[in-house]
Structure formats: C-alpha cells, structure tokens
Amino acid sequence: MSGAVAAALSTTTSSPGGHNVFVYGSLLADEVVRVLLKRVPLCCNGTLIGFHRFSIKGRVYPAILPVENRKVTGKVLLGITDVELDVLDTFEDVEYERRTVEINLHDTSEKLLAETYVWGNKDDPELYDDWDFEVWKQLHMKDFLAMTTMFANDLEQPETKTRVSTYESYYQKD
C-alpha cells in the first residue's frame, strides 16, 4: 500500500483530508469518476458485508440494499472533498440515500468507515438478480459515459437537470 493511500486510510468518513466513499456500480469506472470529479482520487478495494448488489429493471446501473449473508465488492474513493461529495449526492439523486457503512479493506485486514449510496426503496419490485460490472463495461459504459458527460456539463449551468432526468432523456433518445 502506498504512503498516500495509507495516510488517506487513517481518516474516518469525514476529516480534514476529506470523505471516503464506497462505490460499487458505474463509479467503479475511472472514466465515469473523472467526468464527474475532474480527477480520479486515490482508492482501495473493499467489501461491504451484509448488502447485495441488484440489477434494476429498465436501468443500466445497480442498487444495493441490506441482505443478510451477502456482500458487495467495490472500491473506496479516498479524500473526497465536500464539493465532490455534493456532486456525487446530486449524481446519485433522490433514488439513493447516502449512509455511513463499514468497509473491509482487501489489502489489509483493516476496516474503514465510508459513505455509500443505498437504494431508497427497500421493497422496490424492479430490483432483481445480481449486477455485474464487467458486463456493464462491455454493454453500457460508452453510452453511460456520454450520459454522465451531459449530466456533468449541465451541473455547470444555472438550471441543473437531475441525474434521473438526464438519464431518462439520454436513454430515450432513440
């Protein structure tokens, strides 16, 4: 583990060094993170115990919800600023709730507190099966990256559209 990552790991979810954010879906792609945050922060691999990553009918991105005896692998973005956390909150929109969770780090036996985005509707009938990042990269990343670029450009406008409305208008363009 690099010294910079070790220093970042010495923080909790919120500190002078920034926030730690566990990501598990489209934000696993550095390209998507770069479009939103204008940089790719230091990160480390981790697992969230007691949650499951679902596919969502009609969507290309996943949702997580608490499920006993399940786990979600992902990565922790380290040193996220308050402004960047606001961008992520806006990107995740009203469908998700930001929660503090405990992540088991892969490179060490340490645990780390991080923010993550949990699906807001625990009884959503649109959730099913597992969501697979590698399949998403092959089938959806190019279009999702284009949609995210539209969203990021809209963030700089006085009248910002929500990510959900940007997503829906982009994916209904055909």
Kindly report the backbone phi and psi dihedral angles of residue 121, in degrees, each rounded to the nearest multiple of 5, phi listed first.
-110, 100
CB 174 within 8 A of CB 143: no
CB 66 within 8 A of CB 120: no
Q: How far is CA 101 from CA 13, 87, 97, 142, 154, in A?
A: 9, 20, 12, 30, 30
Q: Please tell me the distance from the alpha carbon of residue 161 to that of residue 174, in angstroms, as a whole number.
A: 20
Q: Which member of 31, 68, 84, 92 is catalytic?
A: 92
> Backbone dihedral region of 67: left (phi > 0), alpha (psi from -120 to 50 degrees) or beta?
beta
Asked if 102 is an active-site residue, the reply is: no
Q: Please tell me the distance from the alpha carbon of residue 11 to that of residue 127, in angstroms, as a whole number.
A: 34
Catalytic residues: 92
